Each structure stands twice: as structure tokens, then as C-alpha cells.
Amino acid sequence: MGLVTYDAKDPATSFPPIEPLRPPDGAPNVLVVLIDDCGFGASSAFGGPVNTPTAERLAAQGLKYNRFHTTALCSPTRAALLSGRNHHSVGMGGVTEIATSAPGYNSLRPNTCAPLAETLKLNGYSTAQFGKCHEVPVWQTSPMGPFDNWPSGGGGFEHFYGSSAARPTSTPPPSTRTPCRWNPTGPLRRATTSPRT
């Protein structure tokens, strides 16, 4: 390791430069799209009535992803997709509003189950989530936090734009709310566009 000095002002002190963490050259961009209440039968790529020409082109070239288990509920499906695990193993057996202390239903992802975004971020990727979240435990949705389970907290996303879907009682009703750009480490700012939630 070489000489270890105890004073940063010591002329013999020498440390390697801090290198920014970046994905390797040629690393692909990663985009995950989740559409609520939509199964395989809806897309035209799988014979459904919803026209999805890009998905059809990908399917014609042999690229069809069909091994994802949907849970018929938004919170568990999001938790499963974002972690790559069964929704019960990440505490999301139901939507966040019905969380209990029962195993698999507490709406708390254990820190032994890293989400995909966290894995990407730790490998130098920039990460962001846009739209509805609905993975935050109800008692953590206020501006007071804690933010451990917010997408930009323990979810692995550096940026989050959208709504948590679980609204604390102190927030105005949905009809009077305007979309917010949420960053738990900074001020609450109004979004410049209205994202669909």
C-alpha cells in the first residue's frame, strides 16, 4: 500500500485521484416501462386490440418477453418488476394502503432485496423514475419522511417525477392537487409539465 501519512498537509501524502463511476463503454441504456392494468392479451404483439407497432417489430425479430408475473394490483406489480423478485418477498403482498404486520404484507422492501435501479446506480448509471410510484408505505408519504422507501431514497432512483399514489391526510384532494416534482433532499417544486399518474 505504501506510505500512510496521518496529516493531509504532510508533503509525503499522496492519494490516487477519485475516479467517477461510469458504466463501461458500450453499456446499453435500460428502459423499463410498466403500464397499469394491462396484460399480455392487450398488446397487438400478442394478438390483442391495442396497436403496438414497435413491440410488434421487436416480436417479429424474436424478442418477446412473456415470463413476467403480473399480480393484478399496481403496488405489488411495481415492486416485483423493480426488484425482479416475488412481490411477497419484497413486502408488497397488496397495495400499500392495506399493509399489515403479516410477513410479505408490510409494504417494506428488505434491504437484502436490491432493486434494479440501485444495481444500475452502483454501476455508474444515472437513474430516474417517471409517473406513479405507489410503493411507499403510507406512513412515510409525508414531506417529513422518512424517505428510506421512496424511489429516490431506498428505491435506487436518483430522480423521481410523479406521485406516490398513497396520499397523507394533510394533502389536498386529488382534484385540487397539482403534480409535484419530488426530491426528498431538496425543496418541493411544481412540475413544469403535468405527468400522467
Catalytic residues: 74, 134
Cβ–Cβ < 8 Å for 52, 41: no
- Provide the 10 A C-beta neighbour count for residue 55: 17
Four-point Cα dihedral 80, 84, 89, 91, nearest 10: -40
Cβ–Cβ < 8 Å for 87, 79: yes
Name the helix (H) or strand (E) containing 118: helix 116-121
Through-space distance between the first and last CA atoms of the chain, rounded to whole angstroms = 53
**Cα separation of 13 and 6, whole Å?**
8
Cβ–Cβ < 8 Å for 154, 183: no
The CA–CA distances, whole Å, from 53 to 35, 57, 68 equal: 16, 6, 21
